[in-house]
Amino acid sequence: MTYADLSARLNISREAARSLARRRGLPRSRSDDGKALVSVDLAELRYTPRPRRARRADPIDASIARIEAIKVESFKAEIARLEDVATAYRAVFERERERADRLAVELTQAAAETTAANAWAARLEDEVTALRSDRRPGGTIAGYAARRLGHLAAAIVKADRAATAR
């Protein structure tokens, strides 16, 4: 019988059948087609195959697998940490953006108030200049100055009311 036949009868691999024939010193020969033949009495053989042991994993492969698992876990932890940091930075960014928006509104209001104040200051300077230099014929300087001061006081009161109304 061939090694293939022996392996089928004993329910083992072909290589195991060949090894068994060598260990037991069974007579072997070649057939006409070049295949090895083994002469064996199956009743005498009394062979029970050992249960297959699981192949031991290559320690290097096992180590690489553990390292990869550790890397994956550490990368996941790092990603989670970076997401937390990004969330914190996003909150700070939002807070600062709101603050900048408030400051921009305040700056716009201050610029408008400054422009209005400069216009009133220019008008008041014109009034003061007119008081100092303007003399009309037929009236006293004191009477004219009193009228101009009244107009100036009225303009100041009007400007103050306009500023407090805002």
Q: How confident is the model at residue 6 (pLDDT cuts 50, 70, 90)?
A: confident
Residue pLDDT, tens place only, 123-142: 888 877 766 665 555 556 66
Cβ pair 6, 36 in contact under 8 A: no
Residue type, position 95, single letter:
R
Least-confidence region, from 1-5, 9-13, 47-51, 69-73? 47-51
141 vs 20, more confident: 20
Give the Cβ contact number of residue 20 at 10 Å: 20
Residue pLDDT, tens place only, 83-126: 999 999 999 999 999 999 999 999 999 999 999 999 988 988 88
Helix axes 59-133, 141-165, angle to 10 degrees: 160
CA–CA distances in Å: residue 97 to residues 74, 86, 90, 102: 34, 16, 10, 9
Judged against a pLDDT cut of 80, whether residue 49 lies above it is answered with no
Report, as an integer, the average pLDDT of 150-159. Answer: 83
pLDDT at residue 33, as a whole number: 84
